[in-house]
Chain A
Amino acid sequence: MRIEIKMVLVLTVIALISGLVLGLAYEETSPKIEKNLELAKGKALKKVVPNVASYEAKQVDRYTTIFTAKDSSGNIAGYGVLIEGSGFQGPIKLMVGFDTTMTKLTGLEVIENIETPGLGNRITEEWFKKQFVGRVPPIEVVKGKKPVNEHEIQAITGATISSRSVVRIVNTAQSKLLSSLPRASYSPPKSHGQAAQKQNEGEKKAAVSAARTHRKIEKRKRVREEKSVSLAERKPEKPDTTCLKYMSEFVSPIRRCRTIPMPDSLDAFLACRGSGDSIIGVIVRGTGFMDRIKLLVAMDAGDFRIIGIKILEMAEGEAFGNGRDSTFWSQFNGRTPPLALKSDDRPNGIDAISGATETSEAVITIINMAKIRAEKALSEIQS
């Protein structure tokens, strides 16, 4: 036999046998592997959302899958977002649980991470994950002090960047959840909550706070003053001047202006134009790429179209776009959140600042939150 033929023959036979053996091995193990993956997902979902009996998965993009969890009687129990984002060393994959209103976190599980063992890796520790339960995104990281407000999380000592990454991914998870599920399944906490929904956890709280809004504003302030430490740092209550100061940039002339105090010291403002239509401005903050971002977002109080955005605090890196690019910010005007970054399946999304996708994404998350806060603020004064 010629040596060339023998070479080809032997290699082919070896490759064929190898393929056959592997095919058999795969047949044998694949159901088990699939089951492991499904089990892992289901297990994570059950950890972050209470009372899960069954779930439906929907892949939103290549980093995100949304699980709609149902309880044993078929009602929606909550939502889980399986999402991947970048951490300190590499990708971090999380399962984030949301309540039925999509506003409050019900749990957090770290599925995959390659953070530094002993430091960033501590994001998998129970106390860190527990912190997220009951919080309302957008969440922020605080260092060195105990978190007081419902959107604050304490960083892991020595691993601030990993902690921030987790927070950023959680915030993104919410904006992805809000922008990708049909509007019908999202009901803002207070205003339309009474519809056909069940009296669940979130709604009970809504009912309580709705009752609270009936009391006089003065009394409500006092209650909060006892509850919140950060209130002490607040400016003296002169609703008109504070409101005018913030809102005069977007509305002129202002006929009436009033501050709507919110439970976490980030206020909202309602201003009326001469013609009678009103503009609502909300202060929102969240975590950007480098540091926190604080914005004032002005929206039409009727249809929540954005009228203007003012940057109150922002310290993003100079190198990757400090985020002050006016063409980026002007894109928001006239549009109604929830918004998302432009992508193949979202041609009319927002163009990111070139070189600063992370920052742009963070800004969009914060602006989406602004709408939820505006709805909340309006329902406070309506009652």
Chain B
Amino acid sequence: MKKAFVNGLVKENPVLVGLLGLCSVLAVSNTAINSVFMAAAVTFVLVFSSLIISIIRKIIPDQVRIPSFIVVIATFVTIADLFLKAYFPEISKNLGPFVPLIVVNCIILARQEAFASKNPVHYALADALGMSIGYSWVIILLGIVRELLGFGTIFGHRVLGAWFHPFVVMLLPPGAFITLGVMVGTMRWIQAKASKS
């Protein structure tokens, strides 16, 4: 069970190693606060979908498992979307269509297919939590880096002084791609170092 949890954090990190669910990671990580809310939404959907799928895994016929997974996921995504719209309208506006798009986030469907539908509830939960945290730390770190370089702020607080000239490109799509590319490379480099020693 511990292994199921730890896997997603670094070794099989869904974003940096699996390169899954990149669409939301790249799109909303222009500020740290957006990243936090996206991470929370994905965590909510992943944990609850895994829970439900794992519970009902034995009654779902194999032929209709994908549509069933999708409906369960879409339900939780819509709940998350409605919740954000009602209680955090500003954030919901910033995240735009990327909250509903969690439905097709490959991480979530992949975890249902590969894990939750084959394992008992407590394993499925551990796996979902591990993967969520793996996703969350990457998107939040990316958000912090991009916001710092793009605005000179972290969570809206000015960190870099007036001398700093913001790199607008960090807030734009190219900045997202390149920063994530560098993060993926760094991760591989650290892992290679670690396995050598």
- Interface residues, chain A, with chain B CB atoms under 8 Å away: 3, 6-7, 10-11, 14-15, 18, 21-22, 25-26, 28-30, 32-33, 36, 40, 112, 116-119
Q: Does B119 contact A (CB under 8 A)?
A: no
Contacting residue for B61 out of A7, A112, A118, CB 8 A? A7
How far does the Cβ of A149 sit from chain B's closest Cβ, in whole Å?
A: 31
Contacting residue for B168 out of A11, A18, A28, A118, CB 8 A? A118
Contacting residue for B75 out of A22, A30, A112, CB 8 A? A22
A-B contact count, CB below 8 Å? 65
Please give, as numbers and ranges, the residues of chain A lying within 8 Å of B168 by CB-CB distance: 116-119
Q: Does B67 contact A (CB under 8 A)?
A: yes
Find out whether the CB atom of A10 lies under 8 angstroms from the CB atom of B75: no
Please give, as numbers and ranges, the residues of chain A lying within 8 Å of B150 by CB-CB distance: 117-118
Find out whether the CB atom of B64 lies under 8 angstroms from the CB atom of A7: yes
Please give, as numbers and ranges, the residues of chain A lying within 8 Å of B93 by CB-CB distance: 112
How far does the Cβ of A87 sit from chain B's closest Cβ, in whole Å?
A: 15
Please give, as numbers and ranges, the residues of chain A lying within 8 Å of B74 by CB-CB distance: 18
Find out whether the CB atom of B82 lies under 8 angstroms from the CB atom of A11: no
Find out whether the CB atom of A117 lies under 8 angstroms from the CB atom of B172: yes
Please give, as numbers and ranges, the residues of chain B lying within 8 Å of A33 by CB-CB distance: 82, 85-86, 89
Please give, as numbers and ranges, the residues of chain B lying within 8 Å of A11 by CB-CB distance: 64, 67-68, 71
In Å, the complex CA distance between A234 and B59 comes to: 85
Please give, as numbers and ranges, the residues of chain B lying within 8 Å of A32 by CB-CB distance: 86-87
In Å, the complex CA distance between A119 and B151 comes to: 12
In Å, the complex CA distance between A118 and B30 comes to: 11
Find out whether the CB atom of B82 lies under 8 angstroms from the CB atom of A21: no
Q: What 16 additional pairs, Cβ within 8 angstroms, besides A11-B64, A30-B82, A36-B89?
A: A7-B64, A10-B59, A11-B67, A11-B68, A11-B71, A14-B68, A14-B72, A18-B74, A21-B75, A25-B79, A29-B82, A29-B83, A29-B85, A29-B86, A118-B151, A119-B168
Please give, as numbers and ranges, the residues of chain B lying within 8 Å of A26 by CB-CB distance: 82
Find out whether the CB atom of A118 lies under 8 angstroms from the CB atom of B166: yes
In Å, the complex CA distance between A33 and B63 comes to: 38
Contacting residue for B89 out of A7, A40, A118, A119, CB 8 A? A40
Find out whether the CB atom of A15 lies under 8 angstroms from the CB atom of B71: yes
Find out whether the CB atom of B72 lies under 8 angstroms from the CB atom of A18: yes
Please give, as numbers and ranges, the residues of chain A lying within 8 Å of B166 by CB-CB distance: 118
Q: How many residues of B contact A (CB 8 A)?
A: 28
Q: Does B41 contact A (CB under 8 A)?
A: no
Please give, as numbers and ranges, the residues of chain A lying within 8 Å of B60 by CB-CB distance: 10
Find out whether the CB atom of B71 lies under 8 angstroms from the CB atom of A36: no
Which of A33, A112, A116 gathers the greatest number of chain B CB atoms within 10 Å?
A33
Overall SS of chain A's interface? helix
- Interface residues, chain B, with chain A CB atoms under 8 Å away: 30, 56, 59-61, 63-64, 67-68, 71-72, 74-75, 78-79, 82-83, 85-87, 89, 93, 150-151, 166, 168, 171-172
Please give, as numbers and ranges, the residues of chain B lying within 8 Å of A3 by CB-CB distance: 61, 63
Find out whether the CB atom of A7 lies under 8 angstroms from the CB atom of B63: yes
Residue of A whose beta carbon sits closest to that of B63: A7
Find out whether the CB atom of A22 lies under 8 angstroms from the CB atom of B79: yes
Find out whether the CB atom of B64 lies under 8 angstroms from the CB atom of A10: yes
Find out whether the CB atom of A117 lies under 8 angstroms from the CB atom of B72: no
Find out whether the CB atom of B171 lies under 8 angstroms from the CB atom of A117: yes
Residue of A whose beta carbon sits closest to that of B151: A118
Find out whether the CB atom of B79 lies under 8 angstroms from the CB atom of A21: yes
In Å, the complex CA distance between A26 and B85 comes to: 11
Please give, as numbers and ranges, the residues of chain A lying within 8 Å of B89 by CB-CB distance: 33, 36, 40
In Å, the complex CA distance between A270 and B79 comes to: 66
Residue of B whose beta carbon sits closest to that of A111: B93
In Å, the complex CA distance between A353 and B71 comes to: 48
In Å, the complex CA distance between A40 and B68 comes to: 37
Find out whether the CB atom of B78 lies under 8 angstroms from the CB atom of A22: yes
Find out whether the CB atom of B71 lies under 8 angstroms from the CB atom of A18: yes
How far does the Cβ of A92 sit from chain B's closest Cβ, in whole Å?
A: 14
Please give, as numbers and ranges, the residues of chain B lying within 8 Å of A6 by CB-CB distance: 61
In Å, the complex CA distance between A28 and B168 comes to: 40
How far does the Cβ of B162 sit from chain A's closest Cβ, in whole Å?
A: 16
In Å, the complex CA distance between A29 and B93 comes to: 16
In Å, the complex CA distance between A201 and B168 comes to: 42
Find out whether the CB atom of B61 lies under 8 angstroms from the CB atom of A25: no
Chosen A-B contacts, 23 in total, with CB atoms closer than 8 Å, are: A3-B61, A6-B61, A7-B63, A7-B64, A10-B59, A10-B64, A11-B71, A14-B68, A14-B71, A18-B71, A18-B74, A18-B75, A22-B78, A25-B79, A29-B86, A30-B86, A33-B85, A33-B89, A36-B85, A116-B168, A116-B172, A117-B150, A117-B168
How far does the Cβ of A364 sit from chain B's closest Cβ, in whole Å?
A: 32
In Å, the complex CA distance between A126 and B74 comes to: 39
